[in-house]
Amino acid sequence: MSSLSLTSEVFANEYDEAIQENLNKIEETENKVHNLEGTINSLQVDVQNTEAELNTINNDIEANEERINEAVARLEAAHEKMEALQAEVAELEVIIEKRSEQLENQARKIHVDGQTANYIEFILDAESLTDVFGRIDVVSNLVGSNRKLVEAQIRDQQAVIEKQEETEETIVQQNALAAELEGISEELEQQRLEKEVLVAQLASERATAEADRERFLSEKAEAEKAVVELVAAREEAAQAAREAEERRRAEAEAEVSISSSQTSDSNETASVSVAQSSSTESATETTSQEAPASSQEASSSNQAEQPAKETSKPKPDLKPTPAPSSGGVTWGQISSYANGVLGTPYLYGGSTTNAFDCSGFTSYVFRQAGVNLPRSAAGQYASAQKVSNPRPGDLVFFSENGSRVSHVGIYVGNGQFIGAQTSTGVAYTQVNSNYWGRRFVGYGRY
């Protein structure tokens, strides 16, 4: 019996170590999943912000392209104006050239012919004062015409110079504006390429984080499955050990009882022998005729006592005594229903095998065992029998920031519970993990 007890304890320790190792792995992977979810959410925010910046850059590029198109249009108009002005200048230059020839001819004629003297003689040859004034007017008109011709020549030359300068300045300005807009366009295009590269990089990092999360979730699911199998195996081994120990105890008790009975028979036989010897000696001293009768009485007495001794031997009871029931739903009653929906996705308000929320899951599992629970986690906590020493099958409750109860699961032992989590669906996790430990409220029994 001591050897059996030691062996059972060794087996239990081995199971406990394996279970604890898997529970540690579950907690580790759960923490990694929570961290990766934070990373994924952060990357998603970065992607959204970068895409918003990329949209702004694209809008700036479109606006800048419109400005470039406007500048190009103005530059083309300036070039057209320059071409028209150049045609006009060419015409003015022809006119100026003709005027110049005319003025040069007149100047040369006046210089050579002495036309100024001719003008004076023309005036002096007048016949009357009225004729003098008339001839002066004629000379004045001739001189004035020459003066106007010179002024027109100067004015046209100046206009040509101003128009050329104005048009050239316009072309220079438009060229400078076009160059500036082209520079802005190149800079915006570079910014867009950088943002596109950043978006691609963030998307790649998010995909990697999501792949890691799925891998850790898979490892967590495998560890949870291993825990369930180890717990079941440990329970089967413990049950087998208890049954073997009870059978050995019953056999040992039977052997002790048989040994005690045999010892008693030996003592009684010895007593009868002593009595027969005394009776025989007494009979011999009195008369030899009474000896046969005494021997017959002793023999018949011995024969009469022997069946009585045989019927008094106890029969061993090999049936184990069942453990008394302490009331409430046990994990053994509901484990198959809970494990049957392991991995079912989370959905707020879900209460079917397609999807569960936390209270929908517990209500479904307990309903399979014939127990109807309130629909909400707070309602289940309010109507449950509060217990401080939980056992597998009790409910465990949590709350956010000390407010009303907002989450519930089924305690399965070893500090572990199964429930419908938002990130994993129906899965096993630790009551005292970094996440749930801060939100723990208490246990309840139905």
The model's pLDDT over 96-155, given as tens digits with 9 standing for 90+, comes to: 777 777 766 765 555 455 556 566 666 667 767 677 767 677 767 766 666 777 778 788
Global confidence as pTM: 0.37
pLDDT at residue 300, rounded to an integer = 42
pLDDT at residue 178, rounded to an integer = 82
Cα gap 66→54, rounded to integer Å:
18
Cα gap 258→351, rounded to integer Å:
61
Which regions in the chain score pLDDT beneath 70?
1-13, 103-104, 106-124, 127, 129, 133, 135, 139, 142-146, 237-241, 259-326
pLDDT at residue 345, rounded to an integer = 96
Which tokens belong to 255? 């052997």
pLDDT at residue 184, rounded to an integer = 92
Which residue type occupies 216?
F
Task: From residue 57, give the alpha-carbon distance in Å to each of 60, 61, 185, 189, 192.
Answer: 5, 6, 10, 8, 6
Mean pLDDT of the chain: 78
How many percent of the chain have pLDDT more than 90? 31
384-437 pLDDT, tens per residue? 999 999 999 999 999 987 778 999 999 999 999 999 998 889 999 999 998 899
